[in-house]
Every structure is written in structure tokens, then in C-alpha cells.
Amino acid sequence: MKQWRRFVRSFSYALQGIVHTVKTQRNMRIHVAAATIVLAAAWWLQTPRSDVLLVFFSIGLVFALELVNTAVEAAVDLASPNWHAKAKIAKDASAGAVLVAAIVSVAIGILVFGPPLLDKVAHWL
């Protein structure tokens, strides 16, 4: 029973980190909005399961890296409240990781949603 409580407490802390990031980070809110739109599009386009799995993986990767970026920024700000070149590198690199994942996600989105969207548009014309 004690292990179960520890697990629930750890899960609660993780959820608090997610909620904090969504509340305080504009980019995370943008990612959440984009993910909602993308998942609605996947449903509307009746996207095959294998493609939806790629989309989910992309969303999860971007969310995870945004959470790590937030953690890195907070830790760097705590350790180095004044500007420092190495602090800048750490923050820029973690933001860069999010950017790379977001770019890859956009590419996956184009490959997954491009053909069915073109078919829908062609059908309407």
C-alpha cells in the first residue's frame, strides 16, 4: 500500500509539472492547440491507424521536449540568475531540441495529411 501511495504521489507531481508548463509556457499552449487540431483532422480524414500512431508519437515527442525545455530553463535560471554564456547555450540548445521535434512533426503532418486533404479539395472542386 505504501508503494502505491508513492506511485500516486509521483504521478501527481508529474501532472503538476505538465499543468504548470501548460499554464506558464505560451509555446506549450500552442503545441496543445495544434495537437487538438491535428487529432481532429485525423478523425475527420479517417486517417489509417499506422499514420495516427506517427502523429501521436510526434505530438508526444514535442510535448516531452517542451517539458524538458521548461525544466532546463528553470534549473538554469536557479543556478545562474545572472546572464552567462553557458547558461545561454543550455537554454538555446533545449529550445532547439523542441524546434527540431516541431519541424519533424510538421513534415510528418504534411506527409500524413497532405494526400487526403488534396483528395478532399479535388473532390470539392
The question of whether 73 is a catalytic residue gets the answer no
Of 61, 63, 65, 66, the active-site residue reads: 66
Nearest to 17 by CA among 93, 77, 90, 70: 70
| C-alpha cell recorded at residue 1 | 500500500
Q: Which burial class, exposed, middle or buried, applies to 55 when counting CB atoms under 10 A from its CB (0-12, 13-18, 19+)?
A: buried
Active site residues: 66
